[in-house]
Structure 1
Amino acid sequence: MKAIDLFAGAGGFSTGATMAGAQVVWAANHWPLAVECHAANHPSAAHVCQDLHQANWQTVPAHDLLLASPCCQGHSKARGKSSGNPQHDASRSTAWGVVSAAEFHRPAAFVVENVPEFLDWALYPAWEAAMKALGYSLVPHVIDAADHGVPQNRVRMFLVGTRSKAPLKLTLQPREHVPALSFVDFEAGNWSNIHRPSRALATLGRIANGRSSHGSRFLTAYYGNEKGGRCLSRPIGTITTRDRWAIVDGDHMRMLSAQECRAAMGFPADYRLPKQHRSAVHLLGNAVCPPVARDVISAVMAAI
């Protein structure tokens, strides 16, 4: 089965599709660094760097499966949805690229990944109606990556569309949870003393709460809802586009490395990332977890 990947980013969807046995023949993203990263890991696919609102779908190879991860920031609770924010309005509009591609090629199936709040978008009913007008039946699946062997609690919505009268409701078998300890390397990285003059009081408070609950080794978040640390025997919380998680070991701490973030997302250990830490983390935080994509795409391929 041949697949294309819209808003391909680091290539999590493409990697999962490859794991499932599909052939990714084309991928696109507007960010040159993302296209460079994707091409380094998926060299057999054709690559395009452009705004997909302006795509010429005639140049895209024929395919059976359309994969797409439209921009989620305009929907996400983590980033907020400020009324009248033009940046958020523009980001939400990227989803119409999926309609445009599907109208031209009419693949047998599509899978769209986004935050669950995508379904609450004011224009989602119109978007859904457009896809139905093209002959697709749609059903959303809200999935935690931890249930698919990823050492991370990451809840995302996978919207499956098929050219069939009845929507394709997938039955996905949960996998055993993998702890964060599986990817943390206590012998690597640049550690610093917890108690130093520049350390924020809020950070020290989180660490104190974490130590009282989890002992001397645990994870702590620099922002978000984690106030008391996170045990290493459970999956880590969501990997985001900027450094969020620190490892505490006794009186020392450090941020997760890009390699640890890669493992926390479920990418293969040899997956090539940008050399700059900040860019690598940004790409990973926006990515689809490959094992989740693998399981969803495998189920779709088996059913169509």
Structure 2
Amino acid sequence: MDSIELFTGAGGLALGTHLAGFHHRGLMEWNDDACDTLRRNAKVNALPGISDWRVHQADVRLLSFDIFGPVDLVAGGPPCQPFSLGGKHRAQDDSRNMFPEFVRAVRELRPRAFILENVKGLLRQSFSNYFEYIKLQLEYPSVTKKRDEEWTDHRNRLEDVKTRGRPQALKYNVISELLNAADYGVPQTRERVFIVGFRADTGLEWHFPEPTHSMDALKWDQFVTGDYWKRHRLRAPRTKPISLGVKLSDLEKGAPLKTKPWRTVRDAIADLPEPIEGRDAKEFTNHRLNVGARAYPGHTGSPIDLPSKTLKAGVHGVPGGENMLAYPDGTVRYLTVREAARVQTFPDTWRFEGSWSEAMRQLGNAVPVELAAVVANSVAAKLKASDEH
């Protein structure tokens, strides 16, 4: 199955869809370092089957998507800063708002399905009308915005089309959901909005995959059975945390948990050597110590025995607090790029180009590979089943 990837960044979503069996006919990205990362990894075939990836470094507003031919999937994560909780919250008034370009790709290529992801901030109450407008455009991509038409007027026309119920030349069945990456085995509490659509004439039914991991299961593993500490050959803490989000007594009385434990930072990085300042570890690229980390109110780092806090790219530089590791004794240090890549579930063979701050920015903007793969695998399974019939 063929696909294209918009706003590829360092390749998190692209890797997830690749692992699900999609073949990328083109990857679009404009950032120099992100493009260098993509090209370098394609050149050395960092993951089997990506040596033919073609990176198009360009402003997508200047591209005609017709050059990529028919595809089964359009995927991408438009720049999140217009909607991010850490951004300026300008939404549709932000020049970086690229949702219209994603809609245009769907309109021009008419894929059987699309996967779009973005930040939780898209669901802010102040953006609710625009979020519904985005979904309406994706449902009816051929009902285009007129020159000089206000987006609110275009939204009203789309609502008229939807309520009228007449068949359209191009229509998609669209659903959206907020997913927490930790609930799907990613060692990070990262919430992302996914919007998935199937072309209406495919007649396919689909729903988001059910969570496979939970915080309750982690607390059971750590403070009921103690298996977590045994697995890491550590002595269990003498005192149990005051706030667990759930009472241990309730866990102990409950039915056996059907989910796996949330994965922690320690789970993700336990087999990595301790990083050294000034040079990478022999066996691992991008694994060197960046000194100078310090904790202060609001920037306390991620406790090593919990999933990482959400890694962020930042508006005015990489926010250090979200990219620090906090040990039980109160000390902190910066995550190495390789450790952050583990937290984002990139393979160890994936090398990031640019300085530490630029590599961390790429990671802060990325979709966790394993979360992307969970969604993409579910979409691919539906498309493959349709082909077989």
Instruction: State the TM-score, normalizing by the size of structure 2.
Output: 0.64
Give the partner amino acid of 2:179.
Answer: I
Q: CA RMSD in A?
A: 2.6
Assess if the C-alpha contact under 8 Å between 1:247 and 1:256 holds in 2.
Answer: yes
Letter in 1 for 2:72: D
Partner residue in 1 for 2:339? 260
Of stretches 240-249 and 275-284 in structure 1, the one that deviates more from structure 2 is 240-249
Given candidates 72, 88, 96, the residue that maps to 1:91 is 96
CA contact (8 A) 1:75 1:115 kept: yes
Q: For the structure 1 residues 125 and 40, does the alpha-carbon distance in structure 2 shift closer, same or farther, using more than 3 Å as the test?
A: same
Kindly name which structure, 1 or 2, has the bigger radius of gyration based on alpha carbons. 2
**1:173 shift after superposition:** 4.2
Please name the residue that 2:325 is paired with. 247
Match of 1:68 in 2: 76
CA drift of 1:294 comes to: 0.4
**Partner Cα separation in structure 2 for residue 186 and residue 167 of structure 1:** 46
Partner of 2:274: 187
Q: C-alpha deviations, 1:234-255, integer Å up to 9, x for none?
A: 1010011113332345575421
Tell me what 1:29 maps to.
Answer: 29
- How far is the alpha carbon of 1:70 from its aligned partner? 0.3
Residues 99 and 275 (structure 1), Cα distance of their counterparts in 2 relative to 1, 3 Å cut: closer
Whether contact under 8 Å (2:290, 2:336) holds in the other structure is no
Greater strand percent: which structure? 1
1:52-74 alpha-carbon deviations (Å, 9 max, x no partner):
11111122242101101001111
Tell me what 2:135 maps to. 128
Question: Does the alignment pair 1:295 with 2:374?
Answer: yes
Alignment partner, residue 214 of structure 1:
none
Secondary structure of 2:311's match? Answer: coil
Query: What is the CA distance between 1:167 and its match in structure 2?
Result: 6.4
Residue type of the alignment partner of 1:129: L
Q: Which runs of 5+ in 2 are unaligned?
A: 43-50, 141-169, 214-259, 278-288, 384-389
Return the alpha-carbon distance in structure 2 between the equivalents of residues 171 and 57 of structure 1.
30
The 1:97–1:237 alpha-carbon spacing in structure 2 relative to 1, beyond 3 Å, is same
Q: Is the 8 A contact 2:139 2:173 kept in 1?
A: yes
Question: Given the alignment, which residue of 351, 356, 359 partners 1:277?
Answer: 356
Question: 1: CA distance between counterparts of 2:290 and 2:192?
Answer: 34
Cα-to-partner distance string for 1:249-272 (whole Å, 9 max, x where unaligned): 557542111111111111001111
1:288 offset after TM fit, Å?
0.8
Q: Does the 8 A contact of 2:75 with 2:116 survive in 1? A: yes
Identity of aligned residues (%): 24
Aligned AA (2:41): N
Q: Does 1:139 align with 2:172?
A: no
For 2:63, the equivalent position in structure 1 comes to 55
TM-score, normalised via structure 1 length:
0.81
From 285, 300, 306, the equivalent of 1:234 is: 306
Q: How many residues align?
A: 274
